[in-house]
Every structure is written in structure tokens, then in C-alpha cells.
Chain A
């Protein structure tokens, strides 16, 4: 099969890609916000609710056992996907935001105190800023920020200078959601570990695009979302090193996370259940397992090559429009391009582009500090996935020409 046939075949895996918007074929370029779902994932969810739905780890009946078993198999799939040592290190959460909140609230509460320092970067999504700010307010710790250079990369020298014995956590993104910058997290982790400082990685924008090996990276926590990884919304993952998770206090409390409850004392359950209070999103977790298998079937190498080709083509085509200003031009990027059209507000551009059936995101992308860095109100962001095509990029360029015609 040639590449074109491959792409056709892949596109047919995603039912939504064949729908129309305003009578035009959907061009879905908002994959950094959420990815579309292949039929196998939708079917896995349907199958769970049609054939297996039951609460997990509780009932002694057949269905409950079946649901529990499938749920735990999904955990193993996640463990393998990111190469964690043990299933005890895989906590199901609702998404990256909850994973980050869990680390900040639980690890932070126990190990971070007054005068301690937490390092984040200027590239962070608000979800990796606000939980730490709240922790700082509660404990008197101080938030320090790795500055960003104008091309959208991090100032590594400045980072090294920020590290000091009072630093108790480094929490940085693997990939910038608004600029697509791939952050050299291995270097960041190694530098922090030299001073025995733990590192949390926000992997929300990485999990669908590149192989993640938490052992090789050596990170202490890694967070990602199912819905940005071709799985349903409402399921996510926190990977944590077992030694750390073992000594962390519970984040939420209720059913499932306890071992023995009396009115005088409660004994908490073992890992990973201690951090999964209440009924988990069983169907979501199972469908996430399916989505990860789907990615592996397509192949992360194929995905990386395909997305690199799409990124190059998008950059090339956008460069032919002389009014385009690129925001974020890091050498290492995922298939995300943020840009502005000269003298045109991104919202005006977005409204018109939308009428062509093209889904791009406009705004600050929950990264107001980055917008402040460039002193811009927001950007137009096209974020591509391996199922997108060069032809779709041409539709976007056509829409941009129309924006210019209408607004100049």
C-alpha cells in the first residue's frame, strides 16, 4: 500500500472525519484540544456498557469479576505503553488536570513547606500552574518560573540557576500545548535529580505523538489524558514512582481507597487503589487501553513521520502567505502551529475559517503567560494528527486567503 491508501484506510477508522460542517467536509485541526476517536475505541466503550457493565473490585458475582479483570487489563496496557515498572504505579484519574492536582495536593501537602520552592516554566498550561499556586498559598512555598526564549524554547541556563537546595519540585510540560515546543525533559529531569529534586511531567500534549518511556526518562510523575490520546473524555493517567506513591497521603477519600474503616480509624488500601476513591471510570479506562493498542497498531514511528511531513507542509504553505506571523518556532516541535495574520484579530480569523468547515482554535489556549510574553491577545492554532492530510492544509490556506479578502 502506498501512503495515500494508508491515510485513506486510517481516516476510515475515524467515523467523525467523514461528516460535513456547513455542507463542507470537516477539516479537524484542533487535535491539541482533543483527538477524534477511532471506531475500535467507540466499540470498546459500547461493548463494555452492553456486555460487561458492573462495579469493579466489589461484587463476588460474575459480571463484577469480568469488569474488574478487563479494567485491570487496561491498567497493564497503560503500564506497558509508558513502560512503568509496575501496575502499582498507574493511577486512573479523570485527566491530566486531575493528575497534576493529585501530585500537588498529595505530594505537596506532605513534602513541601514554607520557604520551599517549586519550579514550573513559562510554557505551562494553566493546569500546571494553578495547582502549584494553590499549594504555595496554603504552605508558604514559592513558585519559580523557567523563562522562555522568543522562539518558544525554554532557557535551560536559567533553569539550572533556579535549582537550589530549597527546590522541592520541578513540574514542566513535555510539549507546549499552544506552541508545540518539545521540551528536553530528559535534561531537565537529570539536572533536578542531581540535587535529588523530584520531577513531574505534564504529558498531555505528548502521549498521542511520541513514545514515552518513564523508566528511561526517570521522571517521578508523568500525567496524561485519555481524550487527547484517541480515548474517551473523563479518563486519564497519573504515573508515579512507587516509592513516592507509597508514602503519599490520599488525595480524595471514600470507597475503594480504604482497607478497614471503623469510626476511630481508617486503614488505607494498597496502591494503586488508594488514589482511586469512588467508582472509577471503568468504561473509559478500558477504552483507553484499546486506544493505546490502536496507536501501537498504527505505529508511533509511522505517526511521528507522518506528523513531521504534515508539519513541514503546513509551515511551507503558511510561509507562502506573507502576512503570516509564526508564534513559536522551536526546532523541535509536534505538529502544532500557532500563528497570526497581520493586523487581524485571531477571533475574526477564527470565525471566518470556521465557515469553511475548518476547526482551528483561537484564543490564549489556557496559556496566558505565553501570550503575555509575545504581547498578543491570542493566536490561531492548527494542531494536526496523523489522520490529517495535505489537502486539508490547502483548505485552511484557502480559508486564510478568504479572511484576508474580507478583512483587508
Chain B
């Protein structure tokens, strides 16, 4: 299995293929389609991430020392963004997530090219993933 950093580098090189942002949105939309489907029973208000203007649900489970994420959003570009994060952080130990370097988000220019509200949403998603990692770590 690839390390977090290796997956991040993969994402960077996939993004670099496209120089037009419409194509990058297309790529995100496609990626959203591969997102592990969240069980409807986890699509509850408690799993909503605050700070996103479209709705984003993120569910995390902790098993054998690893964290597994499923997610969904009612906006497809947002679903692409959360699926990008799930791809990087799924099936990792809490420590891997806590210590992960997130420079790839800046490298692919995601923050700068999203509207401020979406950019805040992205920050909230990352924060929520890290909070899950911290919470599961203290339980271990």
C-alpha cells in the first residue's frame, strides 16, 4: 500500500495533466463518483461538517488500528473534494493522519481556485478528519 505522501504525489501528477480549471473540475467530479458510498444510516446531521455551504457528511470507523472513511455531498464538485481527502486518508492509522503533511492541497492550487466558502469548507473537512484521528488515538 502506498504511503500518504505517495498518494498525495499521485494526486498532484494527475492534477498537473490538466491546465484548464474546467477540466480539473471534471476530474474532481469523476473522482467523486469513486467515493466509497456512505451507508444511508450515517447520512445524519451529526455527521454533517460545519462550515460547508453544500452539505457534506463524513463518517469514520476505527478497526484494527486503522480509520476508514465514507462520505457524501449534495454538490458534485464538493463530493470530488471530499473523495480526494478520503482517497488520501482512508485506511490509515491515527498517527499517520495526525502527522500528515497537507502541502499537496496548496500544490494543486485547490485552495486558491475555490470560492472562499468552498475553501473554508475544505479546511473544515480536513479539520474533521484530523479530529477523528485524534479521538480514535486517545481511545487506543
Contact = CB atoms under 8 A, between A and B. Distances in A.
A264 to B, nearest CB: 50
Top 4 nearest A-B pairs by Cβ distance? A345-B75, A347-B75, A347-B54, A348-B75
Contacts of A261: none
Interface string A376-408: 011000000000000000000000001000110
Nearest to B55: A377
B55 A347 contact: no
A16 B49 CA distance: 37
Interface of A: 22, 345, 347-348, 350-352, 354-355, 363, 377-378, 402, 406-407
Contacts, number: 45
A348 B76 contact: yes
A354 B22 contact: no
Interface of B: 21-22, 25-26, 29, 53-55, 74-78, 114-115, 117-118
A352 B25 CA distance: 8
A377 B74 contact: yes
Given A352-B25, A355-B22, A402-B22, A345 B54 contact: yes
Contact of B115 (A22, A350, A378): A350
Contacts of B22: 352, 355, 402, 406
Contact of B53 (A355, A378, A407): A378
A354 B115 contact: yes
18 contacts: A345-B75, A347-B53, A347-B54, A347-B77, A347-B118, A348-B78, A350-B115, A351-B25, A351-B77, A351-B115, A352-B25, A354-B115, A363-B117, A377-B54, A377-B55, A402-B22, A406-B29, A407-B29
A355 B76 contact: no
A378 B55 CA distance: 12
A347 B78 contact: yes
Contacts of B75: 345, 347-348
A243 to B, nearest CB: 44
Nearest to B21: A355
Contacts of A345: 54, 74-76, 78
Contacts of A407: 29, 76
A318 B54 CA distance: 24
A407 B26 CA distance: 9
Contacts of B115: 347, 350-351, 354
Nearest to A350: B115
Contacts of A22: 21
Contacts of B74: 345, 377
Given A347-B118, A402-B22, A406-B29, A363 B76 contact: no
